Amino acid sequence: MIDNDFDNLKDIEAQLIERAWQDEAFRQALLSNPKAVIEAELGNKLPEELQITVLEETPNLIYMVLPMNPDQLTEPDLSDEELDLVAGGSMFTVMGPNRLSVCIICPGAKKPR
C-alpha cells in the first residue's frame, strides 16, 4: 500500500511508478485494471464514473494528454451540494524514465488515509 504521509499527489504518482518499475506483477495489474489497483493502493473507493487509463510508452511511442478545452464547456452552474462533491479534486499525469504514464482525474478526491 502507498505510504500515508504525502505532501501532494506527486508523491502518490512517484510511489505508483516506482512500485511498477520494481514489481512486474503490480505493473501488469496497473496496466490492465488501473482503477482497482489505485483504489487498493489508496485504500479508498474512487467515484464510479471515474475512468482511469494507464499507458506505457516505448522508445518509439510517446503519449501526449490533451486537456479538455475550458472554452467548450457548457455545463450548468453547480448546486452547493455538487460544489462540495468536487471541491479539492485533482488531476495528475506521470511520465517516468521507463515511459510508464499514469493520468488520473479525481473529482472530490480526498487525501488517502
* Each residue's pLDDT expressed in tens, for the chain with a length of 113 residues: 554 444 556 788 789 999 999 999 999 999 999 999 999 988 889 899 988 899 999 999 999 988 778 887 766 666 777 666 666 555 555 555 555 666 665 555 554 44
The answer to the question of residue 4 being in a domain is no
The answer to the question of residue 97 being in a domain is yes
> Could you list the residue range(s) of the whole structural domain that residue 78 is in?
9-106
* Order of all β-strands in the sheet with 53-56: 53-56, 100-106, 90-95
Number of domains in the chain: 1
The answer to the question of residue 113 being in a domain is no
Distance CA 4, CA 40 (A): 13
pLDDT for 29-42, tens place per residue?
A: 999 999 999 999 88
- Check: pTM over 0.75? Answer yes or no: no
The answer to the question of residue 74 being in a domain is yes
CB 58 within 8 A of CB 96: no
DSSP letter (8 states) at residue 56: E
> Of 107, 101, 105, which is closest to residue 31 (Cα–Cα)?
101
Q: Which three cell numbers stand for residue 9?
A: 499527489
